[in-house]
Amino acid sequence: MLFAPQSVPALVGSQMHIPDGFLSVLVSLVFWLLSVIGVGVALWRAGQELDERKVPLMGVLGATIFAGQMLNFAVAGGTSGHLMGAAIAAILLGPWPAVLVMTSVVSIQALLFQDGGLLVLGANIFNMAIVGPFVAYGVYHTVLKLAREKPWGTFLGGFVAAWTSIVVAALVVALQLAFSGTSPANVSIPAMGLIHMLIGLGEGLITVGALAFLSATRRDLLGLAPGRTSRRKDRFVWLGGLLIAIALAVLSPLASGHPDGLEWVAEEKGFLDAAQDAPYEIIPDYVFPGLSNVQFATIVAGIVGTLIVFGVALGVAYLRRQRRTSTAYEA
């Protein structure tokens, strides 16, 4: 992120954030349409499913996922990966609210941080905010059933769901590249699949760690304990979650400098130069403008982004919850 060559747009932090230029206009528009439909349905379904506890949880998860995605971890072969977060969002919220959380994260990354193109934003939302949560949710509950709802099934299911969501989303990206004529399917599919099988291991371990933390602090959110906590304790937990997200943003300068999965594949297969610069810059490459110290500028950008995502995700959840309440009252 900090030392990207000037000849091509930086792709750091963009494990599967496709830049403009990688996909054809037709493919981009098709996935814009699919994403608009998917997010529209998610808004309707989430409004029916949200309860009081899930509203602040959506904000906290959005903030934590955004901050976590800034922390790339090194992977064998000279590449890196980072948290996608679709699995933990789907496990805690269900697929439809998870779609809204992930859409908030991916959209703000593109609009404010120039992480992922604008024309291809529909494709990025489809891959990470729709495919990711639904694959993870289906796999997680399948493993839970096979484990007969035993507690260890939560952790095994979380790992497998996270790994599978990464690999499947990466394969969808490979197909989009092939449909666009950027890279043949027999090249893009093996390349994206193999490298993201490794990255998925990190995603799985991070997800298991998050589930273990919740198992120790809020078992009710995982369905491992009955009942619910008081509103006062809920507020304390949500505040703690937001502080953890901010702490992750503060650690963002420690991220691996290796190219991420998609960037590595693009460089290895010879289509990295197709990436196009964003038409504008606000906080490009997660470096807050006007600050001379790059590490400090990265921290500031991370904190700003974390708080913005928290506010957007919380606002969407609150509005959908309020609309459902109003509709029920009018009926």
CATH of the domain at 71: 1.10.1760.20
Could you tell me if residue 211 is inside a domain?
A: yes
Q: What is the mean pLDDT of residues 98-108?
A: 96
pLDDT tier at 328, thresholds 50, 70, 90: very low
Mean pLDDT, all residues of the chain: 87
Which pLDDT band holds residue 282 (cuts at 50, 70, 90)?
A: very high
Nearest of 284, 282, 260 to residue 272 by alpha carbon: 260
Residue 17 falls within a domain, yes or no? no
| pLDDT tens by residue, 64-85 | 999 999 988 888 767 888 889 9
Closest CA to 112 of 330, 310, 280: 280
**Alpha-carbon distance 200 to 171, whole Å?**
12
Calculate ∠ Cα 127-130-134, nearest 5°.
115
Is 164 among the domain residues?
A: yes
Phi and psi torsions of 208, nearest 5°: -60, -40
14: Cα separation from own chain's centroid: 10
pLDDT of 54 over the 50 cut: yes
In the predicted model, what is the mean pLDDT of residues 197-225?
87
Tell me whether residue 20 is in a domain: no
Which residues constitute the domain of residue 117? 25-330
Number of domains in the chain: 1
Q: Identify whether 39 is part of a domain.
A: yes
| Residue 34 counted as domain residue | yes
7: confidence class by pLDDT, cuts 50, 70, 90: very low
Among the residue ranges 96-110, 124-138, 235-249, 266-280, the one predicted with the least confidence is 235-249
Q: Output the DSSP codes for 226-250.
A: -S---HHHHHHHHHHHHHHHHHHHH
Residues 6+ apart with CB under 8 A from 201: 163
95 in a structural domain: yes
Q: Is the pTM of this model over 0.85?
A: yes
The predicted pLDDT at position 259 comes to 82
Residue 82, both tokens:
């980072």
Residue 1 lies in a domain: no
User: Model confidence over 147-195: pLDDT tens digits?
Assistant: 987 888 999 999 999 999 999 999 999 999 999 999 999 999 999 999 9
